[in-house]
Structure 1
Amino acid sequence: MIERIETGIAPSSAPINDAVRADKHLWLVAIAEDPVSGEIVEGGIEAQTRRCIDNLAIALKAAGGSLRNLVMVQIFLTDSADAAGMNAVYREYFTEQPYPVRATVVVKELLAAGLKIEMTATGVLD
């Protein structure tokens, strides 16, 4: 059975979920959207990466977990030149081994204007 995790981040008007759970497994997605204003955060790749990871953390907390429960993160960037800034912020959040498995892909564009990064993640609850 698949259960929606209510995070308060995904717009209720869109046909999407930002987190679902099946048994102990979690699937999550995050963009650099402020959960209060619904606006894409400004400030470059560092600010957008921080917001994405914070949004993942919010979703994980709503499911009863934390960033330590992630086993894989997929990152989509619109500019390969942003990889260094993204990695710098990523290292602030993921400091202990084992790190989640990670894939980073550069894409032409993301859905929302001004969006530089999007993340999907898979996690397992204890």
Structure 2
Amino acid sequence: MIERIETGIAPSSAPINDAVRAGKHLWLVAIAEDPDTGEIVQGGIEAQTRRCLDNLSIALRAAGGSLLNLVMVQIFLIDGADAAGMNAVYREVFTQQPYPVRATVVVKELLAKGLRIEITATAVLD
């Protein structure tokens, strides 16, 4: 059975979830949207990366886990030049081995206007 994790981040009006669980496995998606305002955060790739990782952390806590439970992270950037700024924030957040496996892909565009990054992730919970 698939269980929706209520994070308070994904808009209830859209047919999407930002976190679902099946057994011990959790699948997540995060964009740089402020959960309080519903707006895409401004301030460049560093601010957007931080917000995405904060949103992942919120979703993981709602499921009873933390960033330490991540096993795979996929990052989508609209500009390869943003990789350095994204990596700087990523290194601040992920400081403990083993790091999650990661793939970073540059795409033409992301759905939400002003969005420079989107992150999907997989976690295993105890």
State the TM bucket, normalised to the shorter chain.
over 0.9
Matches within 5 A, 1:50-69: 50-69=50-69
CA distance in 1, matches of 2:56, 2:71: 13
- Runs of 4+ residues deviating >3 angstroms: none
2:115 alignment partner, SS class: coil
Corresponding residue for 1:74?
74
Matches within 5 A, 1:29-68: 29-68=29-68
CA distance in 1, matches of 2:61, 2:97: 20
Corresponding residue for 1:8?
8
Shift of 1:6: 0.0
Q: Deviations over 1:37-57 (max 9, x none)?
A: 000000000000000000000
- The AA in structure 1 aligned to 2:21 is R
CA distance in 2, matches of 1:96, 1:10: 28
- The AA in structure 2 aligned to 1:104 is T
Corresponding residue for 1:109?
109
CA distance in 1, matches of 2:45, 2:20: 26
Please tell me the root mean square deviation across aligned C-alpha atoms, in Å: 0.3
Shift of 1:74: 0.1
Q: Normalising to structure 2: TM-score of the pair?
A: 1.00
Shift of 1:90: 0.2
Corresponding residue for 1:24?
24
The alignment covers a number of residue pairs equal to 126
Shift of 1:71: 0.1
CA distance in 2, matches of 1:96, 1:64: 19
CA distance in 1, matches of 2:47, 2:36: 16
Unmatched segments (≥5 aa) in structure 2: none
Q: Normalising to structure 1: TM-score of the pair?
A: 1.00
Q: Deviations over 1:3-32 (max 9, x none)?
A: 000000000000000000001100000000
